[in-house]
Amino acid sequence: MSRIDEGAVARVVLGLDRWFDAMRATWPTPGYGGPVVHWWNHCLVYQGAGLDWRYEGIVDGYLTLWRRTGDRRWLAKATRAGNDLVEGQLANGCFRNSMFELNPGDGGTPHEAAADVALLLLAQATRTDNDTGPDRFLAAAQHNLRSFFIGRLWHEESGTLWDSPSVESFVPNKAATFVEAVLHLAAQLPDPDLVARYALPTGQHILALQVRRPGDILDGAIAQNRFGKRVVESYFPLYIARCVPALLGLWERTGDEQFRGGAVAAARFVARVRDADGGLPQVLYARGRWNRHPRWIAGSGDVVRALTLASRHAEELDPAPTVGWIVNGARPDGRVAAASGFGRVLPWVSRRDRVADEVGVVGWCDKAFRALAPMADPRLLVADVAVEPPAAIGVAGVLR
Amino acid sequence: MAAETRPLGTRAAGLPIELRAGLDLIVLRSADHGGRPRGDAVGLPRLVEEWRHYGWSGNGTGPLIALGATPDSLRAVVGESAPQWVVTLQAGPFARLLRPIRATSAELPEGLTFTAWRGLGYQRSWSVGLFGVGAVVWAIAERVLRRAGRPDLADRCRLGMLRSLKTSSIGRLLAVSHVRAYHRVAV
């Protein structure tokens, strides 16, 4: 692994911490708010809190900082985030406004599973801490998993997690987040059924959509989704990276080498298509087609996470270039820019979209935060970093 | 094919994209300084509930928001409450033509006519068309390219459609739906 500038990483992490604080909203329940830009849809009008996958990276990042420094202010922020989810949970188990770029709305995937991961990490980490009361975090995650994912999306006959109760559909990266949540829950509950009944078959379905053609550029890639039996042969490096931790988790739990092999193959695909500057193309297709833009910057934290985990099994995998890509995307107000190239997707038509590159999105920045927190120089994490007030840059431009 | 033309990850129960855009536009133009919608909403229950999800706090000061309200019900509520401003989301003339071939659609009624509004003492202030000829062309191009085995170009056409949802001023005449604002002029 190449050398990473731990000082620079620490400055980015501290900047993100300050920026996250500035992105707090008070309605409909307290939480992290802010706009969302995404490949197809943006969410620029809804200004309340979004209880979606942003919490996964925020909680894990803060817990990492707490473990590395012993400073309880990081634990307090992780706990505050957990409280956001508990207080924003609806009676049906869903989290309020969890649909990210499709907000406002509930029942977002993989967002609610990612929120469960956040709660379960918090419950696990604070098991011996009397001040935080981990039971309510565990209860909230369990309520969501059992009521929403297992109760409404799980299709018993086929042993598949559908993406919609009414459409036979399977989306590997979303299912992978569900697998992670189930593995975390199984580690905290005496329920032997959870892994065998839900996580294992889901992992098998993910692997069934993986390309295994040595020598092909797509070798290791995982198709984006399946409708019925029809596979949508789009391959998004970021979403494929999100499958890696779940597959490795299944290997650790079961010892089944097919999961480790699949995880390493997926990570090698991501590394293979990465650009020299550490960024990744948006999506690849069969027969050598690409759509390069936009290239995610803050969201590439999930790529760093995947390559870091997989590098323990394949030494040639190096997250450092993508760490540099993210560090270069940090801005004076502490955010990390969302992307590069929104204006280049469709010449002329998407030119006004170029301002979306600079929008600060909590649900992308959390991935950078989570990935960089373990790499930051811990001696610098005790300091405060001065950042500029958060910029509303880009949102007004995108709205015009 | 129909399912694939939905944005990835959009579930079957999601709103048609132009209705989401319409709600966004209404909230954008009528929100308070905190970004929360103001006014009272009437019309299709599903749309009213979606509008409230933007953070409506019960603040009734503001325009009357008519989301897919039928002409008769709109006439009744406007006649009774006489709001200073009314913002409507309603079907355009293109809606009926396209409904058979659209992957997702909603039964939005067409609104009151220009004459009917004048009779109630209101004048149109502004009007925005959503999902017009441009968006339809992009959507057709997407389907054609997907069938032709060019998903890369099809995805760009999908993006073209999403970035062309708001029509030009002339294109409004052929839009699938309209957002319109009326203000009271009669004493």
A51-105: pLDDT as tens digits: 999 999 999 999 999 999 999 999 999 999 999 999 999 999 999 999 999 999 9
pLDDT tens digits for range B100-159: 666 555 678 989 999 999 999 999 999 999 999 899 999 999 999 999 999 999 999 999
Q: What mean pLDDT is predicted for residues A184-195?
A: 91
Strands B85-91 and B64-67: parallel
Bin A257: left if φ > 0, else alpha if -120 < ψ < 50, else beta: alpha
- In this prediction, residue A369 carries a pLDDT of 98
- In this prediction, residue B12 carries a pLDDT of 38
Select the residue of A104, A169, A232 nearest B53 (Cβ to Cβ): A104
> At A392, is the pLDDT very low, low, confident or very high (cuts 50, 70, 90)?
low
Contact B108, B177 (CB under 8 A): yes
- Partners of B129 in the beta sheet? B178
pLDDT at residue A399 greater than cutoff 90 = no
Q: What mean pLDDT is predicted for residues B87-111?
A: 77
Select the residue of B3, B55, B158 nearest A27 (Cβ to Cβ): B55
C-alpha to C-alpha distance for A177 and A53, rounded to whole angstroms: 10
pLDDT at residue A389 greater than cutoff 70 = no
Q: Is B151 on the interface with A (CB under 8 A)?
A: yes
Strands A230-232 and A225-227: antiparallel
- In this prediction, residue B99 carries a pLDDT of 65
- In this prediction, residue A135 carries a pLDDT of 92
> At B2, is the pLDDT very low, low, confident or very high (cuts 50, 70, 90)?
very low
> At B187, is the pLDDT very low, low, confident or very high (cuts 50, 70, 90)?
low
Q: Is B8 on the interface with A (CB under 8 A)?
A: yes
Single-letter code of the amino acid located at A320: A
Contact A9, A375 (CB under 8 A): yes
How close B76 comes to chain A (CA, Å)? 30
Q: Is B121 exposed, middle or buried (0-12, 13-18, 19+ CB in 10 A)?
A: middle
C-alpha to C-alpha distance for A191 and A138, rounded to whole angstroms: 14
- In this prediction, residue A396 carries a pLDDT of 46
> At B4, is the pLDDT very low, low, confident or very high (cuts 50, 70, 90)?
very low
- Partners of B41 in the beta sheet? B65
C-alpha to C-alpha distance for B159 and B75, rounded to whole angstroms: 38
B-chain residues near A224 (CB < 8 A) = 8
- In this prediction, residue A325 carries a pLDDT of 98
Q: Is B57 on the interface with A (CB under 8 A)?
A: yes
How close A84 comes to chain B (CA, Å)? 16
The DSSP secondary structure of A287-346, one letter per residue, reads GG-EE--SEESGGGHHHHHHHHHHTTT-TT---HHHHHHHHTTB-TTS-B--EE-GGGSS
- In this prediction, residue B8 carries a pLDDT of 37
Count of other CB atoms within 10 angstroms of residue A158: 12
Strands B85-91 and B177-184: antiparallel
How close A330 comes to chain B (CA, Å)? 27
**pTM recorded for the entire structure:** 0.94
Nearest to A209 by CA among A186, A183, A236: A236
- In this prediction, residue A397 carries a pLDDT of 46
Three-state DSSP at B58 gives coil
- In this prediction, residue B106 carries a pLDDT of 65
A interface test, pick of B5, B25, B29, B163 with most A CB neighbours within 10 Å = B163
Residue with tokens 């953070």: B55
- In this prediction, residue B93 carries a pLDDT of 76
Q: What mean pLDDT is predicted for residues A227-233?
A: 94
% of residues, chain A, pLDDT over 70: 95
Three-state DSSP at A260 gives helix
Q: Is B5 on the interface with A (CB under 8 A)?
A: no
Nearest to A304 by CA among A290, A291, A317, A294: A317
**A206 phi/psi in degrees, rounded to 5:** -65, -50
pLDDT at residue A352 greater than cutoff 90 = no
Q: What mean pLDDT is predicted for residues A200-215?
A: 98
Range name among A153-167, A376-390, B133-147 with the lowest pLDDT average: A376-390
In the structure encoding, which two tokens stand for residue A217, read together? 């550029």
The ipTM estimated for the assembled molecules is: 0.90
Q: Is A227 on the interface with B (CB under 8 A)?
A: yes
pLDDT tens digits for range A248-287: 999 999 999 999 999 999 999 999 999 999 999 999 999 9
B-chain residues near A396 (CB < 8 A) = none
Helix (H) or strand (E) holding B27: helix B17-30
